[in-house]
Structures are given as structure tokens and as C-alpha cells.
Amino acid sequence: MSKQNNRIHVVDDDRVVCHSLCQILNKYGSDVESYQSGEEYLENLTEGFRGYLLIDHKMGGMTGLELQEQLLQKNVHPTIIFITAMSEQIKERALANGALDVFEKPFDLSKLISLLNSTQH
């Protein structure tokens, strides 16, 4: 993964998924931070963050789509990738709102790594 796109924020209320993604992405040289909810992410929002944002959709409290919409309202534009068990229900709206892709859980990690490697910020 190139230095240009190695900043990744993961928002998922499943601690196991969050921890696993962080560990794997760290092994690929990424600088990864995790958040347990959309609300927590917004409370800690880094102004000008332009890295990747990996979001689950169905979380306690704010959904992934609601987080995406809040970021649009705040004029914050990270590269968003959804990783969710609800991909068919949200894909059209997520992509229309600017998401790069939507992965269905369980997902192929090699495809995610390939996508991260193929896009530049």
C-alpha cells in the first residue's frame, strides 16, 4: 500500500471485526484508527481527513449511511468503503452518495487490499 493512501479509519460496532481489520491493515503498512460508532467517529473527526473510511452500516445508534450523510453535510470527503452484511439494501444509496464501493460480509480481504492499492488520494 502506498504512503499516499495508508490512513484508514474503521467504524464498526463489532469489536472483533474492528480489531481484525485494524491488525491486518497495519500489517500492510496502514495507519489505522478504529471507532465503535458513527457518533464516536464524529466526536473525534479529524478536520481535513482525506484517507479511507471503512464503515459498517448496521450499528447501534447512527447507521453507516447516516454517518456518510453527516460527513457530506460537514463537507468532509474521505474515500468511503462500506463493509456490511446489508450490501444489497444500501449499495445504491451508498454509491449515489459517493462511496467508492460496498463489500458484503464476509468479504474477500484480498479484494479490499487490491482496491486500496489501486486508488490514490
Average pLDDT for the chain: 89
Specify the pTM: 0.90
Whether 2 has a pLDDT exceeding 70, the answer reads no
- Please report which confidence band the pLDDT of residue 49 belongs to, taking 50, 70 and 90 as the band edges: confident
* Among candidate residues 84, 79, 78, 73, the one with its CA nearest the CA of residue 12: 84
- For the domain with range 3-116, which CATH number is right: 3.30.565.10, 3.40.50.2300, 3.30.420.40, 3.20.20.150? 3.40.50.2300
Helix locations, 44-80, DSSP H: 64-73
Whether 5 has a pLDDT exceeding 70, the answer reads no
* Among candidate residues 102, 97, 104, the one with its CA nearest the CA of residue 115: 102
- Please report which confidence band the pLDDT of residue 56 belongs to, taking 50, 70 and 90 as the band edges: very high
